Chain A
Amino acid sequence: MSLSGLLRTLPTINAINSSLGSLSLLSRQPYSMYKPFVKEPVYNIEQLDKLIESGEAKKREFVPVKAARNDHNVSVFYDDLTSKFVNMVMVKGQKELARNLVEMGYMKVKQIQLAKYYEATTDAERAEIELNPITIFHKALENCSPVLQLTPIKRGGSTYQVPIPITENRARFLAMKWMILECREKERKIHFPERLAVELIDAFNNTGKVVKRKQDLHKQCENNRAYAHYRWG
């Protein structure tokens, strides 16, 4: 059994610690200004209804709750991952520009996929084409997320790149970061939204430069598996 296969069976750090599961992505900030017992706010109306039904809401009545974030809302279209991605695209605090770029990217994704859809002749072909940009985005990120990462560890005067397990947060961060860096590459004649659309669709189909970068990292980890024990000295 390969090293990455073994490491994949171990539970991730986030999975052990997360209290509300997929509700909040930032459940355990190490340097948070909040005490550990302060709860994350729940924005999603359906989840609120579920809490009220199950009786959980009663227990949370007098528990302090963290302050609301500016970009979090109860909109039907709100997506956690998209919000995180927009924050990472943002430069110099220009949130509106970042959001518009990502939204344009989603629109271009739809345009590209719809062109394929309306060209397809049979129902079977049409059923295979994914049109929802959010679904494509989620799958693309999944395909780009690495399972291991390399860390430099000094042993006997030389620094070795040692493969170590990766947290969910870090994997997601790397996927988004690589995606954004790839979209900012080269001559800039093709603008960010167009590049983002093409890269997302490629990553959704498990092809493209970002997936290649992840696979290169995995290959490096495989090559360096002899040094894996350096992790524990």
Chain B
Amino acid sequence: MMRYLRTCNILRVWRRFSSISAESVPVTESITNDIFRTNESNPVNHRVEHNSRFYSISEPVKKQLFAGGGLPKEYQSLSETLNGLCIMVRKPAIELIHYLNKTNFDAPVLRYVLYGKTGVGKSLSLAHVVHYGSSAGFVLVHVPWVPKWFQYVKVATPSSVHANKYDQPIEAVEWLKHFSTQNGHLLHKLELKTSNTYTWSKREVTAEGSPLSELIDLGLNRAKYATGCIVALLDELKRAASSKQCRLLVVIDGFNSFFSPKSNVIREDKSMVLPSDFLLTDALLSLTRNDWNNGAVVVSVDPSAHPPELRESPLPRYLLGKTGFEHLDPFVPIEVQNYNDKEFRSQIDYYIERNWLQQPKARTDNGQAELSFTSGKHPYSLMRLVAPY
């Protein structure tokens, strides 16, 4: 085994909300013995040269960022079988990282929309961006999978904050837990404070100037006020970002579900509660508007986030509908495509090296040609095809 010596050390400068672009930080050596892997485990340094290579995410980072969701279920169980979470560095993520590095944080936030067929790699690209955001010092507002809030609601109660809207107490508590795990250490460091007084009931009041962690704790302990806490929290974060106290990265998977015409909640008079009738929808739509700065919004639209009868097209205009499109317009669309030849080879090599693809015939040219043809180089189909062999 040859070992490559480091030619330069990285200077990790804590870039505290200045406009120094992250691209001034030198890139580490990324040569490894496997062509399909890279040693560069910091996504801030990922560049075009790392395309189609796998980089590994350590267990503690995975627990911190993705314990509340964010990785597709099958991919997560596969990564546990293969003894380590590795994500392929692909063009959409590199493009996003490049844009986020070059963002002018004084201008209003830019919205980026990832789109593509189901199973093509949008959620994993978003996971890569979440890891980047965490490494680059952003405060993360990460919604792992929006349809979970509308298609599988456990309990929906009329809101205590807003008369005509509905709360989702259980989902709200879950999300607050996820938020505090992802950003706990950062919030503690930043010491953000509330700028308003929030009266929850006669005895429960969150005074002006109290730390945001108090707000989060209230939500975690009192499910009744959890949704209201989230609304207040997101409002405060938006204000804090605009006043340069923190830098915010909003990452939402399955954004088109906010504009879906269905949910599983039915009122007593048998009428359906639409996603637009929930308080959380309002909170997140307010956050994804471009009326604030010092942050970025990365969103994905997926046909599988809509009910089965509305999955004709993977394109943003169809999935978002008129209201959704007008809400997000103007946005930067980024298409996630099937694997190209290099990525496909890399994926197969990874499966072989990890002892997942066992059949000896699959390692031959014929075998690889067959896999390429039958899967159409579609990432999810390839994963399912390779599973029994």
Binding site for B on A (CB under 8 A): 45, 75-77, 102-104, 106-107, 110-111, 114-115, 117-118, 131-134
Contacts and interface: CB of A to CB of B under 8 A. Distances in A.
Nearest to B361: A76
Given A76-B367, A77-B361, A118-B83, A131 B355 contact: yes
A77 B359 contact: yes
B388 interface: yes
A132 B362 CA distance: 12
Contacts of A118: 83
B81 A114 contact: yes
A110 B356 contact: yes
B4 interface: no
A197 to B, nearest CB: 11
Contact of B366 (A76, A110, A131): A76
Closest 5 CB pairs of A and B: A103-B388, A106-B388, A118-B83, A132-B358, A76-B361
Interface string B350-389: 0000011011011010110010001000000000000111
Nearest to B366: A76
Contacts of B356: 110, 114
Given A118-B83, A132-B359, A134-B358, 13 more contacts: A76-B362, A76-B364, A76-B367, A76-B370, A77-B359, A77-B362, A77-B370, A103-B387, A107-B387, A110-B81, A114-B83, A115-B81, A132-B358
14 contacts: A77-B389, A104-B388, A106-B387, A107-B388, A110-B356, A110-B358, A114-B82, A114-B355, A131-B355, A133-B388, A133-B389, A134-B358, A134-B359, A134-B389
B384 to A, nearest CB: 9
Given A77-B389, A106-B388, A107-B387, A117 B355 contact: yes
Interface string B323-367: 000000000000000000000000000000001101101101011
Nearest to A119: B83
Most buried by A among B359, B374, B388: B388
B370 A75 contact: yes
A33 B359 CA distance: 36
Contacts of A114: 81-83, 355-356
B126 to A, nearest CB: 26
A118 B83 CA distance: 7
B359 A111 contact: no
Most buried by B among A107, A115, A133: A107
A38 B138 CA distance: 73
Nearest to A99: B388
Contacts of B362: 76-77
Contacts of B358: 110, 131-134
Contacts of B367: 76
Contacts of A133: 358, 388-389
Contacts of A117: 355
Contacts of A111: 81
A41 to B, nearest CB: 20
Nearest to A107: B387
A133 B361 CA distance: 14
A67 B42 CA distance: 58
A104 B384 CA distance: 10
Nearest to A106: B388
Contact of B359 (A45, A76, A107): A76
Interface in B66-84: 81-83
B367 to A, nearest CB: 4
Nearest to B356: A110
Interface in B248-263: none
B358 to A, nearest CB: 4
A114 B354 CA distance: 9
B294 to A, nearest CB: 44
A133 B359 CA distance: 9
A106 B81 contact: no
Contacts of B387: 103, 106-107
B319 to A, nearest CB: 29
Interface in B40-65: none
A111 B358 CA distance: 12
Interface in B224-255: none
A102 B359 CA distance: 16
A111 B356 CA distance: 9
A76 B366 CA distance: 8
Contacts of A102: 388
A114 B370 CA distance: 25
Contacts of A110: 81, 356, 358
A114 to B, nearest CB: 5
A104 B77 CA distance: 14
Nearest to B363: A76
B136 to A, nearest CB: 32
A153 B302 CA distance: 67
B295 to A, nearest CB: 40
Contacts of B370: 75-77
Interface in B90-139: none
A134 B362 CA distance: 13
Contacts of A76: 359, 361-362, 364, 366-367, 370
Contacts of A115: 81
A104 B387 CA distance: 8
